[in-house]
Amino acid sequence: MKKIGIFPGSFDPFTIGHESIVRRSLPLFDELIISIGFNSAKQGYFPLEKRKAWIEDIFANEPKITVDTYEGLTVNYCERKKANYILRGLRTAADFEYERAIAQMNRMLVHGIETIFLLTFPEHSPISSTIVREILRHGGDASQFVPKQINFS
């Protein structure tokens, strides 16, 4: 059976922390779908299509990767995509506590879904999309925190 993984997130915007998790996970999967979860009642900072185009550009030379968007429960989306694995990155103990509950409940919702956690590289652990957005809101330069394909100007 093909090993299909989903890397779900808001990716608003995608950071070098996300990129590192994706690249390190690739030997584990036959296919990886980077899936931008959205809520149609809530507007993101960057438009969904822009976030998707940036990620496609970053992984343009990586045949195992596709980029998609979805609304609703991640486990239902995994079933639609026939994916058995959810990939998540862990930066801190707070990430762990939050992710543990979600992963355990996801397994109760859909039997057979496994969440795979990769620990972030130490140099990426402080990087978050939230702080990148905060820097941009105040006119700062956040380019060192995102892949070079992302150009905010």
Task: Give catalytic residues, as residue numbers.
Answer: 18, 42, 91, 129
Only segment of 7-15, 58-66, 78-86, 105-113 that touches ligand ADP (CB under 6 A): 7-15
Q: Which one among 25, 59, 78, 124 touches ligand ADP, defined by CB under 6 A?
A: 124
Q: How far is the CB of 87 from ligand ADP (least distance, A)?
A: 8
Helix (H) or strand (E) holding 9: strand 4-9
Q: How many CB atoms lie within 10 A of CB 6?
A: 27
Confirm or reject binding of residue 52 to ligand ADP (CB under 6 A). Answer: no
Q: Output the CA torsion sign for 42, 117, 67, 148.
A: positive
Amino acid at 71: E
* Ranges within 85-104 binding ligand ADP (CB under 6 A): 88-89, 91, 95
Q: How many residues of this chain bind ligand ADP (CB under 6 A)?
A: 16
Helix (H) or strand (E) holding 103: helix 93-109
Only segment of 12-20, 43-51, 61-69, 100-108 that touches ligand ADP (CB under 6 A): 12-20
Confirm or reject binding of residue 25 to ligand ADP (CB under 6 A). Answer: no
Contact 50, 56 (CB under 8 A): no
Q: Among residues 11, 10, 62, which one has the least CA distance to residue 37?
A: 10
In this structure, the strands spanning 4-9 and 85-90 are parallel
Binding residues for ligand ADP (CB under 6 A): 9-11, 15, 17-18, 21, 88-89, 91, 95, 120, 124, 127-129
